[in-house]
């Protein structure tokens, strides 16, 4: 499932490719009948909140964002959803965002780059196709794709915790996160995956954030100090900002990347945007504990463990992640703690 930084990159791609333009909308699959009411409307831009994407459609480009005439397409990609793009050069800087990595119209032998994007026939699995003056976007396999008004959009937002990638000039998002964690008996490993506590974190960020914080994933949230939670929030903002900028999750310091540069992948593998680029940090060098079960810790050599919290696999180092309470020796100045953000 795409994590929050991916959805923010998706929103930026829509804003660049379609923002303020009149578009055509259709549902080749036939399962999104509301596409007809969006056809010919202006797509004002895009908004990402955690793992949720909102596309605001209006009759004209000068409609206010709080107007009752506005209709929001709410999309949650889930495990299998993706957007794929095709268009003229410079339309968007990614050909696919989400689960699959195929381009529109791509078969095993590859996409014929000479094909005019206006003539590409949508696959029968496309839930929603949006076509603008410079390109198109196809949505396949989402968990949610629905049209809602401003009240419906707000009801989704009200269910979500703070998003580390949204502006927080007064620190209210950080305070909400700290309060939600510290008043809960639930383990910090489960809290970080709860979208009502913090929006946008998935399994990779959860595992890596806890390692960088030296926190045992099974410690209850109420046992953590405000300082611990604040430091976690700040590190999460930095990590996800890096992810939104590059399209990749990289949590390791450069000096640790070649130490035990291995990963225990599933048959499908841990895939990230840009894996085909030889200049990016490869995924086997990108993580400290995620999918490194049974391998030695990059820092201490202890075997990385894995278990289950709230029906999701959690990965941790039993030696490095020993902080279990507010009495633990947990300081950012700890010279062994891997705090420096990946470059």
CA gap 321, 306 in Å, rounded: 13
Q: Is 312 a catalytic residue?
A: yes
What is the number of alpha carbons within 13 Å of residue 188 lying toward its C-beta?
Answer: 33
- Residue 333 makes CB contacts below 8 A (sequence gap 6+) with none
- Residue 142 makes CB contacts below 8 A (sequence gap 6+) with 75, 76, 77, 78, 81, 127
Calculate helix-pair angle for 226-246, 4-18, nearest 10 degrees: 40
Angle, CA of 177, 183 and 187, to the nearest 5°: 85
Structure tokens at 339: 């705090």
Q: Is 2 a catalytic residue?
A: yes
Q: Which of 9, 28, 47, 51 is catalytic?
A: 51
DSSP states of 131-186: E-SSEEEEEES-SEEEEE-HHHHHHHHHTS---TTS--TTSHHHHHHHHHHHT--S
Q: Which of 118, 312, 319, 332 is catalytic?
A: 312
- Alpha-helical (H) ranges within 203-337 are 203-212, 226-246
In the three-class reduction of DSSP (H, G, I as helix; E, B as strand; rest coil), residue 56 is classed as strand
Q: Which of 3, 208, 260, 285 is catalytic?
A: 3
Positions annotated as catalytic residues are: 2-3, 51, 312
């Amino acid at each position: 499932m795409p994590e929050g930084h991916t959805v923010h990159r998706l929103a930026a791609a829509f804003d660049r490719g379609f923002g303020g333009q009149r578009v055509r909308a259709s549902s080749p699959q036939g399962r999104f009948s509301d596409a007809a009411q969006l056809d010919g409307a202006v797509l004002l831009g895009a908004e990402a909140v955690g793992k949720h994407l909102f596309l605001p459609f209006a009759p004209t480009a000068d409609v206010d964002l709080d107007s009752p005439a506005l209709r929001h397409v709410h999309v949650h990609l889930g495990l299998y959803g993706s957007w794929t793009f095709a268009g003229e050069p410079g339309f968007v800087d990614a050909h696919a965002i989400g689960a699959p990595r195929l381009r529109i119209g791509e078969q095993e032998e590859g996409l014929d780059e000479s094909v005019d994007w206006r003539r590409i026939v949508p696959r029968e699995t496309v839930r929603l196709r949006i076509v603008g003056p410079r390109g198109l976007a196809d949505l396949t396999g989402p968990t949610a794709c629905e049209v809602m008004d401003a009240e419906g959009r707000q009801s989704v937002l009200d269910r979500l915790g703070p998003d580390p990638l949204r502006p927080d000039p007064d620190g209210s998002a950080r305070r909400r996160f700290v309060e939600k964690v510290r008043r809960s008996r639930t383990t910090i490993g489960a809290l970080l995956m709860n979208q009502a506590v913090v929006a946008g974190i998935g399994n990779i960020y959860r595992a890596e954030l806890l390692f960088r914080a030296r926190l045992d994933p099974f410690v209850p949230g109420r046992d953590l100090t405000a300082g611990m939670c604040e430091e976690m929030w700040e590190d999460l903002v930095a990590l996800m900002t890096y992810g939104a900028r590059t399209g990749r999750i990289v949590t390791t310091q450069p000096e640790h990347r070649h130490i035990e540069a291995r990963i225990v992948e599933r048959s499908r593998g841990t895939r990230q945007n840009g894996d085909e680029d030889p200049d990016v940090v490869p995924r086997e060098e990108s993580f400290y504990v995620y999918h490194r079960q049974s391998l030695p810790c990059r820092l201490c050599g202890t075997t990385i463990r894995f278990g289950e919290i709230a029906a999701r696999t959690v990965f941790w180092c039993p030696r490095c992640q020993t902080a279990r309470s507010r009495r633990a020796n947990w300081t950012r100045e700890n010279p062994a703690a891997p705090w420096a953000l990946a470059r």
